[in-house]
A and B are shown apart, each in its own frame.
Chain A
Amino acid sequence: MTVAKAFSMPSGRRENIGFFKKTAAYVFLISGSLVMAVPFLWMLSTSLKEPGVVFEVPPKWIPETIIWDNYRLVLMESNLLNGFLNTLAVTLPPTFVGLFASALAAYAFGRMQFPGKNVLFLALLATMMIPGVVLMVPSFIIYKYLGWIDSWKPLIIPGMFGAAGTVFFLRQFFKTIPSELEDAAKIDGLTPLGIFLRIMVPLSKPALATQAIFGFLGGYNDYMGPLIYLNSPEKYTLQLVLATFQDNYNAEWTLIMAGSVIALIPTIILFFFAQKYFIEGIAMTGMKG
């Protein structure tokens, strides 16, 4: 009786608080997500309007006549499609080759023994401490000497050597894999490369996928790199083409918004298919801090 009372009392009280807290949480979250959504909906609505209708006061959220032609115009008349293909060309090789290079190094740092391991790992970590802005000017000059300016090389080649952040992330992951399988494979005479490819890679697919997604997203959304290194419009990546819309379609907001929607679609599709990896990847990044 007393035990039941002791248990029921606080839980009853908690439920009451829970109701108010829950209502407050809903109000907060619904108004918050409205603030998040309104700009996106406004973008979508604008992109479907006739040019003159944009300057109507008060604005209509759902245009009277929906104009898909803005999308056709933007895709046909601008370099957007070409920019998208260019983006894939500069993003995919460093994403996958770089991931492989990072994963191999992460395996060596995480699970193998060799002289100088700690010093080399610290040196690699130190590169993460250097603010990116310090590298901007000297990299440009060095690429200029190499004849890489106005080519995709500065966007592709450095990334193929892997990234310190990815090495660090994957090393942490590899360290959590139990060593029994690895020991058995060693007895079977598998080389370290064989162990990496046949045991480590299959066991780390989620971690590798997370890094591949973040790598691709970083490349796809990159604006600074292409801005510094590319001059010829036909070499522009998607983000660079989109940025030129401001000048090319001066105040034609219907077209600028249609272009922005198109630029967002691939990442939104990627997000919906790989939501789990995004959320877990970020959560894991925070944990290591």
Chain B
Amino acid sequence: MANSQSYSHRKLHSAAPGKARRFKKEYLWAYLFIAAPIIGFMIFGFIPICYSVYISFTQFDGFSSPEFNALDNYQELFKDPLIRKTALNTCYAALGIPIGMALSLGIAIALNQKIAGINFFRTAFFLPAISSVVALTLLWKWVFNSDFGILNQLLGYFGIHGPAWLNEEAWAMPAMIIQGVWGGLGFNMVLYLAALQGVPSSLYEAAEMDGAGGLQKLRHITIPGISPTTFFIIVTSIIGALQDFVRFRIMTGGGPNFSTMTTVYYLFENAFRYMNMGFASAMAWGLGIVIMIITLLNFVLSRRWVHYE
């Protein structure tokens, strides 16, 4: 009795530290494994973010030491007429989102039937998605060329005298929207195609049994069925559109007369051309907050229309 008690006692003692040591070892491995991304996040994410908050309250040219100027930069956000102009331009450019979504859904629905050449069509629509934005933008700049571009030549066949696209204040932004929709179709099409294939066919069969027509099926089965993907596309497209900049810089340089200067383009100019780093940081935070509010709003509103299975 005494013997067995002391035995179990000894066992308890010897087992506990061993087990603890094994656990600790696994923790150590785990911490080692996650170290790189966590350290990377600290150095290249957290520190710059904190620094950016500070810079946004200063006057800073990037070289001399930052001078604290309290809320001046943030007040300037509401005074600078170009902020308003570029914000409106950015919203105008975002009109491409619903157009592109409707078209890519249409293409995905068409591709979702049993048709020949699906690989060919998929590649044709998808190619811009993998292509360099610089190359595509240069290409479209040539397409939009008022005298020798292919677009106005094609319009000419129909007796339409095309505008000078990128050189006209009224037409430069529509041109950017056309280019953006063209470039973004493939990516959203692939997302929608995957979503369509995930809608259970039993739902369609049941609806057909009840005598539902094509449009009714689209409205009551397809669209609710793919709503999580629609939601994903809306959220990521808005975040992307609010930060769109590269193609504008190459295609129009923001002109004519600032008609295609986007918010991030103007931010870039403030930071790296006018060396107004404090104001640029305040702009970044203004835009960052707008993006976060819109994203949050999207999530709240999504409860009303997104159907998860």
Q: Footprint of B on A, CB under 8 Å? A: 10, 14, 17-18, 21-22, 24-26, 28-29, 32-33, 35-40, 42-43, 46, 54-55, 57-59, 101-102, 104-105, 107-109, 112-115, 117, 120, 123-124, 127, 129-142, 144, 158, 160-164, 167, 191-193, 196, 217, 220-221, 223-224, 228, 238-239, 242-243, 245-246, 253, 256-257, 259-261, 263-264, 267-268, 270-271, 275, 278-279, 282-283, 285-287, 289
Band of interface residues on B: 35 or more
Taking CB atoms, residues of chain A closer than 8 Å to B187 are 282
Taking CB atoms, residues of chain A closer than 8 Å to B30 are 108, 112-114, 117, 192
- Contacts A123-B41, A138-B55, A158-B44; is A283 near B190 (CB within 8 Å)? yes
Are the CB atoms of A286 and B229 closer together than 8 Å?
yes
The contact sample of 8 A-B pairs, CB cut-off 8 A, is: A33-B124, A129-B295, A134-B52, A161-B39, A162-B40, A260-B132, A268-B131, A270-B130
* B23-41 contact mask (Cβ, 8 Å, vs A): 1 or 0: 0001101110110111111
Min C-beta distance of A23 to chain B, whole Å: 10
- Contacts A112-B33, A242-B132, A282-B187; is A140 near B267 (CB within 8 Å)? no
Q: In the docked arrangement, what's the CA distance between A59 and B43, Å?
A: 54
Interface of A is mostly: helix
Q: In the docked arrangement, what's the CA distance between A133 and B281, Å?
A: 9
Which of B4-12, B74-82, B110-118, B161-169 is found at the contact surface with chain A?
B110-118
Q: Footprint of A on B, CB under 8 Å? A: 26-27, 29-31, 33-34, 36-41, 43-45, 47-49, 51-52, 55, 62, 103, 106-107, 110-111, 113, 115, 120-128, 130-135, 138-143, 145, 147-148, 150, 153-154, 156, 182, 185, 187, 190-191, 193-195, 198, 208, 214, 228-229, 231-233, 235-236, 239, 242-243, 245-246, 250, 264, 267-268, 271-272, 277, 280-281, 284-285, 287-288, 291-292, 295
